[in-house]
Structure 1
Amino acid sequence: MSSHDYNRYRVSVSGGELSVGVWEPVAFEPGRVPTVCVIHGITSNHLFFAGLVSALPGVRIIGPDLRGRADSHLLGPPFGMKAHAEDVLTAIDTFAEPGPVTLVGHSMGGFVAMTLAGMGAGVDSDAEVADRFRGPVLIDGGLPLSVPEAGSGSGSQALDDLYDQDLDTDDLIAPVLGPAAERLSMSFGSVEEYLAFFAAHPAFVDGLDTVATESFVYDLAAKDDHSFQPSTPVEAMQADFADMYSGGAYHNSLAAVMSSQRRQAEVTFLFAERDLVASEPGLYPPELVAAYRQRWEEMAVIDVPGTNHYDILLTETGIDACATAVVSRLGAIGDGELE
């Protein structure tokens, strides 16, 4: 028996309609149902969280397809973390009961989650919008990424230099996103051909499970010539990627959340051992993680060994770690432990 009933809806946002998947728990305790909002990565969709959903019985899960992705792929600009955060807030207000919602973001979704967590906070950690949320739980994303040196696979910038409004992010797409960026311009003759592409991807050498397969199939958009193409427009990825590095809304929210030890203690950061092509180091190299541990001592930092950027949400090890982090966050605020 499934732990949740799943339905997909559309909600009105700026410029059109956002597609939102909602998993309602089949069984839950009396009273308010705990609610989590999951926010996916830069070329992904909400179905990539289905494995995590199964590990959270009794919890309502709200999963938007961010604008320009999957079933929301016809929803165009504006892109960027602020626009996505406002869309996600609309989904939360539509489907969540009154009370706090736990934010969970994977990859770029972590940046959206952090932006939303800090919206309205300013220097006041008790601001109304901020108190609407628990977390965020950041899964291999959501904290500033290092900038690779020319000819190098690792970053060497000082922590305070990772935010640069004048950075040319076009040169960073290849070393950071790699094949994920190339895939967006490719066409595939069939669904099977698209799945074969992922089956040969180094991040999925152990094969595609049901969650990955359904998420990848859901991502495909049919073209007029009966071929298929990934749903995310290249311009959406480029705009969002640039905003992750140099956008003011995200960095203002990061500062607002992390300026308070109480708010820091509400953030959980999980990081994978390997990157998007299953190579070491991961998207967050050990030296960068160490710098974050030192700067934000109240933030929970969880190493998820044996996982890469994708299968941290697909393998038993990854799902267990993520689910444990989410469950601990569900009851963390309001029970006195962060006072």
Structure 2
Amino acid sequence: MEQVKIEVPDGALTALRFGTGPKIAVAAHGITASGMAYRSVARRLPEDWSLIALDLRGRGGSAGLPGPYGMTRHAEDICAAAVQFGQGRPVALVGQSMGAYAALRAAARRPELFTRLVLVDGGLPLPVPVGVDPDVVLTATLGPAITRLSDTFPSAEAYVDFFRAHPALAAEWNDDMAQYVRYDATGPEGAIRSRCNGEAVRQDGRDLLVEADSFGADLVGLAVPVALLHAPRGMFGQAPGLLPEEVVGHWRKRAPHLVTELVDANHYTILMTDGPATAIVRHLTAE
């Protein structure tokens, strides 16, 4: 792995490059994550591939890049990475959770840059109850994650232990997860915290809710081959998943070009454990 930079109009985006092969895949992560979330996937890529796992603005090594945030802004950054590393050739694209929405927006706006799109437990419009304030929904769904961003821990290992106890991770804890947490940790000993920008999370979370209909339009009109891998269990390791089967079935009918696969995992282990990571690679590298 090496850290690389992607030139964008207001600075440089950080990404992690796994592998040295000439075939390129670009990856976008979840709302409080980083490019290190793709370590399991990267290890399973064939030798002639490289994975460019972005730290989206507001996260990881890109935490200092300014807003505004939102899926259209992230999509612009994804396209910049595709142009820089594709060098005139289209690349494969994968996004998980929030990153799936940003990747979908990128492929919808610039289809010539991408050979295929893999959505991992994200990318489908999330139903928002009529008349409910999006900020109320945001607090109910992402409140604990946003609160965690302002928490401090006595050491990096204490931060790792905090994640190790998470109900969605504990039973399948592995070194990829530990390295992901260590990469996110910053600050002096005694006051370790996440590198993730809380304001970026709030803006991005609200964008996912307010602009839900636009992601449906992106999916229906998509000109790039697309596959969705979704999990039956959600962010706390329990059913239902983030994308219930009825939601997946609805969009499969609306977008017949969408290939779907149910993967036995939860919202996090679908990306960070062996079997699901192998499934992602199978779709990502398909001819």
The normalised TM-score by structure 1 is 0.79
Q: How does 1:218-233 map to 2 (within 5 A)?
A: 218-222=183-187, 226-233=190-197
Partner of 1:294: 253
* Amino acid aligned to 2:147: E
* Amino acid aligned to 1:320: T
Aligned length: 286
TM-fit CA distance, 1:43: 0.5
TM-fit CA distance, 1:226: 4.7
Q: How does 1:58-137 map to 2 (within 5 A)?
A: 58-119=48-109, 129-137=110-118
- CA offsets, 1:130-160, max 9 Å, x none? 121123200001111123xxxxxxxxx6xxx
Q: Evaluate the alpha carbon distance shift between residue 117 and residue 251 of structure 1 in structure 2; reply closer, same or farther with a 3 A threshold.
A: farther
Worse-superposed segment, 266-275 or 284-293: 284-293
TM-fit CA distance, 1:85: 1.2
Aligned counterpart for 1:7 among listed residues 2, 5, 17: 2
Partner of 1:209: 174
Alignment check: 8 A CA contact 2:94 2:103 kept: yes
* Amino acid aligned to 2:117: P
RMSD: 2.1
Structure 2: distance between partners of 1:256 and 1:222: 39
TM-fit CA distance, 1:251: 5.0
Aligned counterpart for 1:43 among listed residues 19, 22, 32: 32
TM-fit CA distance, 1:11: 3.0
Return the index of the structure with the highest Cα Rg: 1
- CA offsets, 1:171-226, max 9 Å, x none? 12244335323311211111111111111110112253111111111111215x85
Structure 1: distance between partners of 2:19 and 2:88: 16
Structure 1: distance between partners of 2:201 and 2:170: 25
Structure 1 unaligned spans of 5+: 1-5, 120-128, 148-156, 332-339
Q: Evaluate the alpha carbon distance shift between residue 173 and residue 72 of structure 1 in structure 2; reply closer, same or farther with a 3 A threshold.
A: same
* Amino acid aligned to 1:232: C
Q: Evaluate the alpha carbon distance shift between residue 54 and residue 298 of structure 1 in structure 2; reply closer, same or farther with a 3 A threshold.
A: same
Partner of 1:308: 266
SS where residue 196 of structure 1 aligns? helix
TM-fit CA distance, 1:116: 0.3
Structure 2: distance between partners of 1:12 and 1:319: 29
* Amino acid aligned to 1:141: G
